[in-house]
Amino acid sequence: MSGSVRSGAEAPKVRRNWLTAAVLAAAICVPLTALSPAAHAATKAKKQRTFDQKAAALAKRLVGDPYVYGGTSPAGFDCSGLAQYVYRHAGRGRSIQRTAEDQFLEFRRISHRSARPGDLVFFHAGSDPDSYVYHVGVYEGGDMMVAATTWGEGVQLQNFSWAGDTVTFGTITH
């Protein structure tokens, strides 16, 4: 047989090579999330995080920023400026009052047991939960919060159990 006519033995080989090339091309074009159900679930879960979870995560990213009295930005925070910044920039953002006392009055008081990461921890002048609020932090769970502490220490992840019964918790989300 001459050049242009193929034998029956060559036809399956050509078909098989074409099919292999097509499968490889399709595999290269498929997004990785379609290949990995776990990766797809992780992406979906990240999109469904609550406002509180986003606020807690943002607060943790600000650890190490400096303390500045009256500060409301990553260039420098005071305690209530940090809380206000976190709430304004987490998720879709929420405007809250500027001072710790005003934030306390704006938030609904909840128990420590009901608090979720991203809620606020308020520090009172005494054990009376209606006493003046002088400090605030972003709750991270357990006895931990992120707060702008003092000059030289800046924004820190810290334990607040030292305050005993002078703390209350507040939320505007649940």
Boundaries of domain holding 122: 49-171
Structural domains in the chain (count)? 2
58 Cβ contact list (under 8 Å, min separation 6): 86, 89, 90
Please indicate, yes or no, whether residues 104 and 160 belong to a single structural domain of this protein: yes
From residue 165, how far is each of 104, 111, 117 by CA, in Å?
16, 12, 19
Exposure letters 51-90 (e unless 16+ CB within 10 A, then b): bbbbbbebbbebeebebbeebbeeebbbbbbbbbbbbeeb
Higher per-residue pLDDT: 35 or 41: 41
Please indicate, yes or no, whether residues 16 and 77 belong to a single structural domain of this protein: no
Q: What is the CB neighbour count within 10 angstroms for residue 93?
A: 12
In the structure, what pLDDT confidence band is assigned to residue 48 with cuts at 50, 70 and 90? confident
105: CATH: 3.90.1720.10
Average pLDDT of 26-52?
A: 61
Please indicate, yes or no, whether residues 95 and 32 belong to a single structural domain of this protein: no
- Mean pLDDT estimate for the chain: 85
Average pLDDT of 69-92?
A: 97
The answer as to whether 28 is a domain residue is: yes
Please indicate, yes or no, whether residues 31 and 71 belong to a single structural domain of this protein: no
Asked if pLDDT for residue 30 goes beyond 70, the answer is no
The answer as to whether 3 is a domain residue is: no
Q: What is the pLDDT of residue 112?
A: 97
Please indicate, yes or no, whether residues 90 and 160 belong to a single structural domain of this protein: yes
Cα 140 to chain centroid distance, Å, stands at 11
The answer as to whether 108 is a domain residue is: yes
The answer as to whether 38 is a domain residue is: yes
Q: What is the pLDDT of residue 11?
A: 53
Average pLDDT of 138-151?
A: 96
Closest CA to 117 of 95, 131, 93, 137: 137
pTM of the shown model: 0.74
Please indicate, yes or no, whether residues 30 and 70 belong to a single structural domain of this protein: no
Q: Which residues pair with 136 in a beta bridge?
A: 122
Please indicate, yes or no, whether residues 112 and 60 belong to a single structural domain of this protein: yes
The answer as to whether 1 is a domain residue is: no
